[in-house]
A = this chain, B = another copy of it.
Amino acid sequence: MVTPQSEDFSKWYNEIVYRADLAAQSPVRGCIIIKPYGYEIWEAVKNWLDRRFKETGHQNAYFPLFIPESYLKREAEHVEGFSPELAVVTIAGGKELEEPLVVRPTSETIIGEAFSQWIQSYRDLPLLINQWANVVRWELRTRPFLRTTEFLWQEGHTAHTTEADAEAETMQMLDIYADFAWNQAAMPVIKGRKSENEKFAGALRTYTIEGMMGDKKALQSATSHNLGQNFAKAFNIKYLSRENVEEYCWTTSWGMSTRIVGGIVMTHGDDKGLRLPPRVAPIQVVAVPIYKTETEISAVTEALQRIVKELRGAGIRVHIDDRDETPGFKYNDWEMRGVPVRLEMGPKDLEKNSVVLARRDVPGKEGKQFVSQDGIVQAVKDLLDTIHHHMLQQAQDFTQSNIQDVHSHDEFKQVIEAGYWARGWWAGSNEQERGIKEETGATIRCFPLDQPGGNAPCFLTGQTADRIALFAKAY
C-alpha cells in the first residue's frame, strides 16, 4: 500500500513516482532516470507543444550544451541568479581547459551571442527559435521531476523589433502553456505576472502559470519572459531598421520542462495511485480479459482483440493485459498506474455483446457501465472526454475552494498557516515581500492577469493597492 496523501503528501508523491514506474533512481546525485511510462507522458507534452510552436511560426534549432564561463557573466542579474547552481567542466580530452565550460542551466547567453551574429536587419525579424534540450542546475534539495539536477525542457528564444511585439510573443506563449495545462493535462492553472523578487534573472517581466497541487502547495508550471533589451545590450543583438538606424532588439524566452510530469501526478493522484488525464495518458484504455476455462480464454481473447483493434484504428491508446495474474491484481496495478479507463470482458459480456467500462476517476460501482460492443469506439471516445472534463472540474473546485481572500496581516498569516492560498490587495515593497516569505514561507506566486480592477487597501500596509496578488507556499 501507498502512504496516504493525508498522512504525508511528500512521501506519497515519491512512492507513486517509483511504484507507477514513471522514474527510477539513478546513481547521480539529484538525477532520475525517466522510465518509459514517464517518458511517454513527456512525449505527449512535447508533441503537443511542438505542433503549436510550429503553427505559430517557430523553428527548432540546437545550440551547444557547453557555455564559455565568460558568456554567463555578461548579464549581471543573470549570472548572479545562476552561479550558485552551475556544473563546470574543467578537464577535457585529458587536459585542463583554459576557460572552464559551464553546462547550460538555460541558454539565453549562448543563443544571445548567436542572435547577435544572425540578425542584421529588420528583415531578419522576428526570429522565432525553440530548442528541445537538457539543462543542469545544481540544486540543494531535489525531488523527482519537480526539481532535478538535470532536466529536459524546451526553451523558446525570440527577437523582435519592438517592445510591443516582444510582449505579444511573451503572452502568446503563456497562452499556449495555459491551453496545454487546462485542455490536455486537466490542470486549471492561473495565469499571472511574477513579482520583481520572483522574476527570471535578467528579465524585464516574467509571466507564469501556477497550479495548485493536492497538498495545496503551488507549482510554477511554465514561465514566459519578456527580456526587454537586457540580453540584447549584453550580447549586442542589433538590427538595422527600415529607416537605416541601428537598434537593439527586444527578446523573449519561455519554457516548460519535465517538471510538468510531477505537476500532473500531484494535481490528480489519489491514495490508490496515479490518475492520468486521458489526453496525456500513455495508455488510455487497459483491456482485461476475464475467464476461467480454456474455452473461455480463446473466445474472450479473440473478441477482445477485435475490439482493441477497432479502438486502436480510431487512434485510442489501448493496452491488453494478458499477464497470467488475477483480474483483481491487474485492477490494482492499473489503478496505481492511473489508466483512465479499464475495459473488462468476460464470457457473460461476450454473450450479451457488451463490455464493462470502469473509470479511474469515479471509484466503485458508479464508475462502471455496461456498453454494447457496437459503437464501442464512440462510447470510449465520449467517456475519455467526460473523464477529462470531470478531472478538470475536480481540480478547479479544489483550487477555488482553497484560495482565501485576506484583508489584514493576521488574516493572511492564518490563511497561509492553514495551508490555503491567500488572495489579497498588495502594495508592499520587495523588502516587505521578502519579510512575508521569511515569516510564513509563502511567496507571491503571481499577480493574476484576471484582476478585479479598481483600488483597495493593501492587506499588509494599508496603502492604496491597484492589484491583487496570490500568495502560497510553493514547490
Contacts and interface: CB of A to CB of B under 8 A. Distances in A.
Contacts of A91: 86-88, 90, 100
A60 B89 contact: no
Interface of A: 24, 26-28, 31-36, 39-40, 42-43, 59-68, 71, 83-94, 100-101, 103, 110, 113-114, 117-118, 129, 133-134, 136, 138, 140, 149-150, 152
B39 A150 contact: no
A22 to B, nearest CB: 11
A236 to B, nearest CB: 13
B84 A59 contact: no
A92 B88 contact: yes
Contact of A33 (B26, B67, B114): B114
B89 A61 contact: no
A31 to B, nearest CB: 4
Contacts of A117: 24
Nearest to A87: B92
Contacts of A62: 33-34, 39, 42, 152
A88 B90 contact: yes
A114 B67 contact: no
A40 B65 CA distance: 19
Count identical subunits in the complex: 2
A60 B39 CA distance: 7
A73 to B, nearest CB: 14
Given A26-B114, A27-B113, A117-B24, A138 B93 contact: yes
Given A89-B89, A91-B87, A27 B103 contact: no
Contact of A59 (B36, B65, B89): B36
A103 B97 CA distance: 15
A424 to B, nearest CB: 36
11 contacts: A26-B114, A28-B66, A28-B101, A31-B66, A32-B64, A36-B61, A42-B62, A66-B149, A83-B94, A89-B103, A90-B90
B138 A92 contact: yes
A56 to B, nearest CB: 14
In the A-B complex, list the 6 residue pairs whose CB atoms are closest, starting with the nearest. Answer: A36-B59, A93-B138, A31-B64, A34-B62, A87-B92, A88-B91
Contacts of A32: 64
Contact of A68 (B28, B43, B71): B28
Contact of A34 (B42, B61, B150): B61
Given A39-B59, A89-B89, A89-B90, 6 more contacts: A28-B67, A28-B101, A33-B114, A87-B93, A88-B91, A89-B103
Contacts of A61: 33-36, 39
A40 B63 CA distance: 14
A84 B94 contact: yes
B101 A65 contact: no
A90 B88 CA distance: 7
A99 to B, nearest CB: 10
A138 to B, nearest CB: 4
A150 B138 CA distance: 21
A21 to B, nearest CB: 10
B86 A87 contact: no
Nearest to A93: B138
Contacts of A140: 93
A150 B63 CA distance: 10
A24 B138 contact: no
Nearest to A60: B39
B134 A65 contact: yes
A67 B136 CA distance: 14
Of the listed residues A40, A68, A91, A140, the one surrounded by the most CB atoms of chain B closer than 10 A to its CB is A91
A100 B61 CA distance: 30
A100 B96 CA distance: 13
B89 A87 contact: yes
Contacts of A138: 92-93
A87 B94 CA distance: 8
